[in-house]
Structure 1
Amino acid sequence: MSVLPEPWWPTTLLAAALFGDAILSIRPPKFIRDCLDGVNLPREWWWVLICVKLLAVAGLLIGIKVEGVGLAANVGVIAYFLAATYAHVKARFLKQEFWLNCLGMLLFAVAVLLYSFVL
């Protein structure tokens, strides 16, 4: 296992996807609103998700040069989407948003971890 991503570009792609997700979440389109409402997350807490995603972006990008930071951020992204998966299952909100957004990002984060840090 490496403490710096090798290759680095999958980590950058994950950071870009999370950054886009965070920016979209500032004024969430219907599919994001439906997702957050579907898991019963109170609207006054939506800003926390934006902060978490932006911190993950920073960690992933800093981690390209600073040993261990990217690995920790990548594991944190996986934990975030595992928690989101749990919230979806618990709320029984298993619509398209769950399969594409939540599980899609979880699989993407796991693939980046395996490709850039493990294999």
Structure 2
Amino acid sequence: MMRTLRRRVRPRWPLLTLAGISVGDALLCVKPAGFVRDCLLDVGLPRAVWPVLPVVKTAAAAGLVAGTEYEPLARATAWSLVVYFGLAMGSHLRARDFGRNLFVNATGMMISSCALTAWLEHRRATS
């Protein structure tokens, strides 16, 4: 029997919740809010890279939303977020930024991304 190309993810709320958070994060990076600007400066991210952040975060949100209809895209996006937040945590550690930016923001998003990825991988393994 041929597998269908389109495999929907249900329930959708885990993907849509993280997509909403990513959109909010992207909006905060368009013209970086004070605490976002301070965070980017603290980790030493070059200003030339700052305009790319909203694009990447919006693309992640789009991948998660589209992933509700095509599970391989959801998994690829979730894994990409794990890599992104792993790099973010590494940047905080390298900069010795052990405050709220690391422990609440980057770590919280890493945990959320890992949980989503684990859930999607579990779905794949048990289907």
Per the TM superposition, whether the score is higher than 0.5 is: yes
Instruction: Say what the alpha-carbon RMSD is for the aligned residues.
Output: 1.5
CA distance in 2, matches of 1:80, 1:4: 25
Match of 1:20 in 2: 24
Cα offset, 1:115, TM superposition: 3.1
Runs of 4+ in 1 over 3 A off after TM superposition: 3-6
For 1:30, which of 18, 21, 34 is the aligned residue? Answer: 34
Runs (5+) with no aligned partner, structure 1: none
Normalising to structure 2: TM-score of the pair? 0.85
Structure 2: 5+ residue stretches without partners: 1-6
RCO (CA 8 Å, sep 6+): is it higher in 1 or 2? 1
1:18 and 1:87 map into 2 onto residues whose CA distance is 19
Kept in 1, the 8 Å contact 2:82–2:113? The answer is yes
Q: How many residues align?
A: 117
The answer as to whether partners of 1:81 and 1:106 remain within 8 angstroms in 2 is yes
**Which of the two has higher C-alpha Rg?**
2
Q: CA deviation at 1:98?
A: 1.2
Q: Is the 8 A contact 2:19 2:61 kept in 1?
A: yes
